[in-house]
């Protein structure tokens, strides 16, 4: 049997060509596209305005969501839900839905199975790299939750590409997925509601700046000196802080949009007054904001989250340099919501 076509991997022109190979007229592609991206169909049987014969052909030659659910958990506060998806080749990826009182429904999605960056405090970094996800596999995570939220009158409002993997290491597929998710004829999500996070792949940041994209960029910094960052973020040895900051300034000059710097606060390691001062000096005068995140502990790393007092002291020190910051509320601690943690737990317990 020929390999099944993954429909989420196709853009509209490719979908039109595929429908024609099935002996159908091109207008059927528009109907199919609407079922995929406007009505969030989870099966071909739901596509009631398509002829039964076409639905049967699609069932024989194509698939919608290429992933199946391997495990899922919901936090005790009822606001955070995590799904572990199993891909056709057996790889496992995670997606987290976070609900907020103001009505936002934010998804944290994966762009790779595993990660090659090796950040020491990250469960995904500890597991190593398996492969890049296709654009369709990235999009499928969003559409799964779009389908789930729709009956409640809700929709995905924001997306952060901060799950498993380094998005800019999978540049083409990640940005193809962004284009699909922001397509006015598709999910029609605002580009500014999608945030792409990177640990600092300098050439990719410059390429991203040159493309003048609307999607916000977040830099996972976590240390303000090379000596400390080398211990946490191995890629810093390839592109040290000076080169990274030069790329950040290039991005700002090209786009004029505020950068976010992510900082996982690790008790007595990068939450010291010295690191706060170094960060303040590094970012002083830059159009940016710092997102402070008390560490979500992992079994493979001994560090723990900073206390409330140390977080406040760090934030106060940044303010002395005119650097704005906020403290992100830790979500889903009871369900291992940090990227890679549910996968590790499932494998360890032999649920998979």
Choose the catalytic residue: 115, 122, 248, 339. 339
Closest by Cα among 199, 205, 243 to 223: 199
Strands 92-99 and 80-86: antiparallel
Tokens at 198, concatenated = 């990177």
Closest by Cα among 176, 211, 172, 216 to 197: 216
In degrees, to the nearest 5, what angle opens at C-alpha 352 toward C-alphas 346 and 125? 50
Choose the catalytic residue: 24, 81, 94, 173. 94
Helix or strand run (H / E) with residue 144: helix 135-149
Our answer to whether residue 122 is catalytic in this structure is no
Tokens at 23, concatenated = 């002996």
Specify whether the CB–CB gap between 310 and 265 falls below 8 A.
yes
Specify whether the CB–CB gap between 266 and 225 falls below 8 A.
no
Could you tell me the CA-to-CA distances from 66 to 4, 48, 57, 167 in Å, in that order? 10, 21, 17, 20
Our answer to whether residue 94 is catalytic in this structure is yes
Active site residues per annotation = 94, 339
């Amino acid at each position: 049997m020929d390999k099944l076509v993954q429909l989420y991997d196709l853009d509209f022109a490719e979908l039109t060509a595929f429908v024609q190979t099935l002996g159908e007229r091109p207008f059927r592609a528009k109907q199919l596209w609407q079922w995929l991206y406007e009505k969030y169909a989870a099966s071909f049987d739901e596509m009631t305005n398509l002829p039964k014969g076409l639905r049967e052909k699609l069932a024989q030659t194509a698939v919608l969501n290429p992933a199946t659910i391997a495990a899922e958990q919901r936090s005790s506060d009822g606001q955070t839900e995590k799904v572990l998806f199993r891909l056709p080749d057996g790889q496992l990826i995670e997606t987290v839905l976070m609900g907020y009182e103001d009505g936002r429904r934010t998804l944290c999605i994966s762009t790779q199975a595993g990660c090659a960056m090796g950040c020491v405090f990250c469960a995904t970094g500890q597991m190593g790299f398996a492969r890049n996800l296709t654009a369709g596999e990235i999009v499928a995570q969003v559409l799964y939750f779009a389908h789930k939220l729709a009956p409640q009158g809700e929709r995905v409002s924001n997306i952060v590409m901060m799950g498993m993997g380094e998005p800019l290491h999978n540049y083409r597929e990640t940005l193809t997925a962004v284009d699909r998710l922001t397509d006015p004829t598709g999910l029609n999500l605002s580009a500014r509601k999608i945030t792409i996070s990177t640990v600092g792949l300098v050439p990719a940041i410059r390429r991203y700046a040159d493309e003048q994209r609307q999607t916000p960029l977040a830099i996972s910094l976590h240390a303000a000196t090379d000596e400390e960052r080398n211990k946490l973020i191995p890629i810093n040895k390839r592109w040290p802080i000076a080169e990274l900051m030069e790329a950040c300034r290039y991005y700002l000059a090209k786009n004029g949009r505020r950068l976010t710097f992510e900082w996982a606060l690790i008790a007595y390691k990068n939450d010291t007054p010295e690191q706060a001062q170094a960060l303040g000096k590094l970012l002083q005068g830059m159009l940016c904001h710092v997102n402070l995140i008390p560490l979500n502990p992992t079994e493979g790393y001994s560090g723990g989250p900073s206390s409330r007092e140390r977080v406040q002291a760090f934030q106060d020190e940044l303010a002395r340099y005119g650097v704005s910051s906020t403290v992100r509320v830790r979500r889903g601690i009871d369900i291992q919501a940090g990227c890679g943690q549910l996968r590790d737990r499932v494998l360890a317990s032999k649920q998979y």
